[in-house]
C-alpha cells in the first residue's frame, strides 16, 4: 500500500484529508515494520504536541477497517503497519523486538488443509514471530 492508494481509499469512503491523517500515514509508509500507537504518538507529537491517543487509535482503527493497514498483536498490544499488496498472497515473519517484517512467500495452508478434511476454510492469517538478525545479536 502506498500513500496515493491510501488517500484514494479514504476519499472513496468520504474521509477528509487532515494533517493528523497525513502524518500518521507518512510515518507508517516510511516504516516497513509494525508499530504501536505509542510509536505513532511519539512521532506525531513533533508536529502536533496536543494530539490524543483517542485521535490516533480512531485513525488507526479506521485505516485498518478500510484495508489500508494490517494489524497484529504482540506482547498484548495492538501493532499496525501499511497493508501489503493485496494481489500477492503471502505471510510474514515479525520481529518481536523491533517489529520489522519479512514476507514469507510459501503458504502452509496446503499442508494444514490435509489435516482438516471436510472443513471449509474461509480465510487464514499466518505469522511467524521471533527475532530478526539485528535483534538476535543485541
Q: Is the dihedral of CA 28, 31, 36, 40 positive or negative?
A: negative
Q: Write the CATH number for 99.
A: 3.30.1490.190
Say what the pLDDT of residue 16 is: 94
Say what the pLDDT of residue 86 is: 62
Spatial distance between the Cα atoms of 24 and 127, rounded to a whole number of angstroms: 24
Say what the pLDDT of residue 87 is: 66
Residues 99 and 73 in one domain: no
Residues 76 and 8 in one domain: yes
Residue at which a domain ends, from 62, 82, 102: 82
Parent domain of 76 = 3-82
Residues 71 and 15 in one domain: yes
Q: Write the CATH number for 39.
A: 1.10.10.10
- Secondary structure (3-state) at 129: strand
Q: Give the whole-number percent of the chain exceeding pLDDT 90.
A: 44
Residues 104 and 69 in one domain: no
Say what the pLDDT of residue 12 is: 96
Spatial distance between the Cα atoms of 8 and 26, rounded to a whole number of angstroms: 15
Residues 122 and 98 in one domain: yes
Say what the pLDDT of residue 13 is: 97
Residues 110 and 133 in one domain: yes
Residues 67 and 27 in one domain: yes
User: Using the 8-state DSSP alphabet, how is residue 119 labeled?
Assistant: -
Residues 60 and 105 in one domain: no
Residues 75 and 104 in one domain: no
Say what the pLDDT of residue 98 is: 86
Looking at the 3D structure of the chain, how many domains does it have?
2
Task: Look up the pTM and report it.
Answer: 0.77
Residues 73 and 131 in one domain: no
Output the tens digit of pLDDT for each of the chain's 138 residues.
889 999 999 999 999 999 999 999 999 999 878 899 999 999 999 888 889 999 999 999 999 999 999 898 888 889 998 887 666 777 888 888 888 888 887 888 878 888 888 888 887 778 888 999 999 987
Amino acid at each position: 500500500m502506498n500513500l496515493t492508494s491510501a488517500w484514494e481509499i479514504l476519499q472513496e469512503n468520504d474521509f477528509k484529508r487532515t494533517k493528523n491523517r497525513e502524518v500518521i500515514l507518512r510515518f507508517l509508509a516510511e516504516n516497513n515494520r509494525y508499530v504501536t500507537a505509542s510509536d505513532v504518538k511519539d512521532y506525531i507529537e513533533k508536529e502536533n504536541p496536543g494530539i490524543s491517543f483517542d485521535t490516533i487509535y480512531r485513525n488507526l482503527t479506521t485505516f485498518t477497517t478500510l484495508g489500508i493497514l494490517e494489524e497484529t498483536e504482540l506482547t498484548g498490544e495492538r501493532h499496525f503497519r501499511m497493508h501489503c499488496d493485496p494481489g500477492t498472497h503471502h505471510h510474514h515473519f515479525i520481529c518481536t523486538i523491533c517489529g520489522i517484517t519479512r514476507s514469507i512467500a510459501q503458504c502452509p495452508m496446503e499442508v494444514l488443509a490435509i489435516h482438516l478434511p471436510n472443513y471449509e476454510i474461509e480465510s487464514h492469517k499466518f505469522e511467524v514471530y521471533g527475532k530478526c538478525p539485528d535483534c538476535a545479536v543485541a
